[in-house]
């Protein structure tokens, strides 16, 4: 991790910025690493990694073009829930 990044992330979160962690690494591994490093709480559950069919996930994330983050979060959450139930 870069020097002083946790301080910056804390400051952003304190100012009401919703933080997201996104990675091409498998979802479970990203979440476990964030937990192990002690910064998962900064993201309040908004930690995303590769799940299911990466091409389909890619289409969800960029296929709609520019979206408010709240809408993107809803689309990703829906995709994850559907992927886990199948």
| Model confidence at 43: pLDDT above 90 | yes
Angle between helices 69-85 and 54-62 (to 10 degrees): 160
Higher pLDDT pick, 44 / 83: 44
Average pLDDT over residues 28-53: 88
| Model confidence at 64: pLDDT above 80 | yes
Average confidence score pLDDT of the chain? 86
pLDDT classification of 15: cutoffs 50, 70, 90: very high
Rounded to whole angstroms, the Cα distance separating 11 from 2 reads: 15
Q: Give me the pLDDT at residue 14, please.
A: 93
Which range (29-33, 38-42, 76-80) has the least confidence?
Answer: 76-80
């Amino acid at each position: 991790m870069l020097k002083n990044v946790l301080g910056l992330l804390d400051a952003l979160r304190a100012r009401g910025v919703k933080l997201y962690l996104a990675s091409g690494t498998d979802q479970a591994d990203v979440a476990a690493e964030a937990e192990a490093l002690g910064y998962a709480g900064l993201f309040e559950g908004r930690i995303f990694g590769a799940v299911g069919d990466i091409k389909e996930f890619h289409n969800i994330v960029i296929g709609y073009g520019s979206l408010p983050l709240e809408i993107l979060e809803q689309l990703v959450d829906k995709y994850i829930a559907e992927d886990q139930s199948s």
